[in-house]
Each structure stands twice: as C-alpha cells, then as structure tokens.
Amino acid sequence: MSTRSNDGPRRVSQEEHDKAWAYARSYYPDAEHSGRPGTRGILEDFTMLARYVPDAMYGYFQLRQGAFDISPEAALPEKTKELLLVAMGLASRKTNPTPLGHTRKAMAAGASVAEIAEVVALAIMYCGIISFDEGGRHILRAAEEWAEAGIGGTDSA
C-alpha cells in the first residue's frame, strides 16, 4: 500500500497549501473548537490527513472558505452561519464531539443562549428527542457557561 507524505506529489503549490493552513489556523485557533479542551485539536487531525492526502485537506479548506464567506458582501452573517452549523450538527446527530465549537463561535459572533436554545428546539422538532439527548443538552449547558463568562449576545426576558 502506498501513501503520500507532505513531500509527496501535489496538484497545488506549496504557497496554496500555506494559504489554506493560514485560514485553518485562523478559524481553528485552539483545541477548544472541538469541544474537547485540553485534548488534541482539530488542526492536529487535519495535519494527519494532510500527511497522506494533502490535496484533500487543501480542497476542504478551499470549499470551506467559499461556503463560509463572512465578508460584508456575504448574504448571511457569521452568527447565522454558525447557528446553521450547530443545527446541522444536531440534525446529523454529530455527537463525537457535540458541535460545541460552532456553538462557541456562534456566541462569539453575538448569538444568545435563547437563540442557541431555539436551534436545539428546532432540532428536536425535526430529528426527535435523540438530538437533544445526544447533543442539544450539552450545547445548552455549554452555552449557559459561556454566557456566564461573558461570551455571546444577551437574552432579553
């Protein structure tokens, strides 16, 4: 079985790979993004993928940059995009880990605990209570903790 290393053949230049990694480091600044503080971060996992299939890692980040445009010209604001990623994570029953990183990023972009709770409730409606049990309850708990720490928008009564 043959494997490629970072020094193996590529279809894109080193400069393009470097730009992709710069984007990755800016979006995933720490292990906490994965919802697993103190553990291996997502960038370490992407490094492993890039070791064997460097163009796949590059291609993913190119797609991600295009889909996750947060420039003033983008139709959806960053907060909305992060809330959608939380919802999609719940809908796909993504529980390893729960989409806590996107929850934190949504809150950092101004989402409130109430908005996060509505996303969780919609996931229950669409996907059943299993989405709450496997992910939603963890998301709400984390959202409340981050709100207490001053991350996120405010909830009005």
Question: What's the pLDDT tens digit per position in 75-122?
Answer: 999 999 999 999 998 988 766 667 788 899 999 999 999 999 999 999
User: Residue 1: what pLDDT?
Assistant: 39
User: Residue 91: what pLDDT?
Assistant: 87
CA distance 110 to 152: 5
pTM over 0.75: yes
User: Residue 26: what pLDDT?
Assistant: 85
Residues 68 and 20 sit within 8 Å (Cβ to Cβ)? no
User: Residue 87: what pLDDT?
Assistant: 93
User: Residue 28: what pLDDT?
Assistant: 78
User: Residue 121: what pLDDT?
Assistant: 96
Average pLDDT, the chain: 84
User: Which position has the higher pLDDT, 32 or 20?
Assistant: 20
Residue 48's contacts (CB-CB under 8 Å, 6 or more residues apart) are none
Residues 76 and 105 sit within 8 Å (Cβ to Cβ)? no
Cis check: omega of the bond before 97, within 30 degrees of 0: yes
User: Residue 2: what pLDDT?
Assistant: 42
